Amino acid sequence: MERKKKTIRVIDLGQVPAVRSQTCYHAVGYAFGPSSPDTIILVSPKTPYVCVGFHQEVEREVDLDYCREAGLPVYRREVGGGAVYLDRNQLFVQWVFHPESLPESLEERFRLYVEPIIRTYRELGIEASYRPINDIHVAGKKIGGTGAARIGQAEIVVGSFMFDFDKKTMARLLRVSSEKMRDKVFQSLEQYMTTMKELLSEVPERELVKKIYLKQVEELLGAEIMEGRLSETELAEAERLDQLFQSEDWIFQKGPMRRPAIKIHEDVHVHEVDYKAPGGLIRLTARTKGQVLDLVWISGDFTAIPKEAVAELEKALSGVTIDEKSVTEAVSRALKETGLKCPGIELEDWVTAILKIGENLNQK
């Protein structure tokens, strides 16, 4: 007897209001249950916007004055990673799947997710390839990245097809230390990022890209594609999230407590340190009492699953003496208890970042 093929629901939303291009996959995730179908959403925003990662601080990453002047709204997603400019020239591909439908390893999950995108690019004449941890490259240039999160009962993986990209606006909207630095950012984007418009003599029709992509998904996953639409429950959730994602409480929830490193009194200091791990930037704010961590706040452009585990790691560090043995034991225990996984960030990276706080203390 022939085994029945797995079914994947595909929801093609076309172009939607900017905020809905983010809230749609969150809504499917929060409405997800045991009987929900694995779902792929294809969508683009009608108008441009800026999207920051879940663990980022908006004021530190984005030039908010410029965004206001340019009419660019800023939204926070529940997926990690960095601030990015998004517009109709990207076709978002959003997977909302059951955990058992995806590899357990985040790197293998990313590898599976990007494979049909890579195969689509190759059929279009672009020699794309997977570059760990979560990027797609063409001859050393990035043509797409991916992000992941756990939302409700669903595992989420997101990315996009890059028809074109406004590198000038991307460089302008970032908050940087100087115009010289901004020029370097733009030069780097020019040198190390590419798009279909740059690589092909003619940009392919969007419907053709979708058709090729879904064919590749069917072949790779051994699945049958079923056209679908958002359910009433999912639509209601999306409308709720549309309001939430546009609220200042949500957008600015990270970082109001952040201040430059200062001495409170002889034994109490507030520190700020950055550590660049392979999987992204770890930024720590900590209050210390003597040689002990009193409070720790973690931000950055890394991917964390489950995202809530970062807050548990913060709690686990409270009261820990700043030495390698104590920090290693505390972080190791927290990672084990919470199941926190951050691709490209290992135990040693967390420990090294935290010990930089001790280096600050020793310099005082």
Which DSSP string corresponds to 28-43?
HHHT--TTPPPEEEEE
Paired strand residues for 15: 44
Three-state DSSP class for 284?
strand
354 vs 323: CA distance, rounded Å? 9
Which DSSP string corresponds to 134-176?
TEEEETTEEEEE-EEEEETTEEEEEEEEES---HHHHHHHB--
Paired strand residues for 226: 9
Dihedral-angle region of residue 14 (phi above 0 means left; psi in -120 to 50 means alpha; beta otherwise): left
128 vs 240: CA distance, rounded Å? 38
Token code pair at residue 286: 């900590």
Q: For the chain of 364 residues, list the mean pLDDT of each consecutive stretch of 10.
A: 76 98 98 96 98 91 96 95 95 97 93 97 97 91 93 96 97 89 89 96 97 97 96 97 95 57 57 90 88 90 92 95 96 96 94 89 62
Nearest to 276 by CA among 306, 310, 258, 302: 302
Residue at token pair 């690019």: 121
The pLDDT of residue 262: 45
Could you confirm whether domain 262-363 is CATH 3.30.70.270?
no
Token code pair at residue 4: 């029945």
Q: Which helix (H) or strand (E) holds 19?
A: none
Q: Which helix (H) or strand (E) holds 294?
A: strand 292-300
- Whether cis (ω within 30° of 0) applies to the bond prior to 306 is yes
Is 185 in contact with 178 (CB distance < 8 Å)?
Answer: no
Is 86 in contact with 45 (CB distance < 8 Å)?
Answer: yes
Nearest to 269 by CA among 357, 150, 339, 145: 357
The pLDDT of residue 3: 52
56 vs 255: CA distance, rounded Å? 8
Contacts of 157 (CB under 8 A, 6+ apart): 94, 95, 97, 102, 109, 110, 113, 146, 147, 148
The DSSP output letter for 81 is S
193 vs 356: CA distance, rounded Å? 32
- Domain extents in the chain: 6-251, 262-363
The DSSP output letter for 341 is B
Nearest to 297 by CA among 241, 266, 253: 253
Nearest to 264 by CA among 295, 289, 235: 289
pTM: 0.84
Which amino acid, residue 35? S
Angle between helices 232-245 and 20-30 (to 10 degrees): 130
Contacts of 11 (CB under 8 A, 6+ apart): 24, 28, 39, 40, 41, 42, 228, 229, 230
Q: Cα dist. 126→43, 69, 117 in Å?
A: 22, 37, 11
355 vs 361: CA distance, rounded Å? 10
CATH code for the structural domain at 6-251: 3.30.930.10
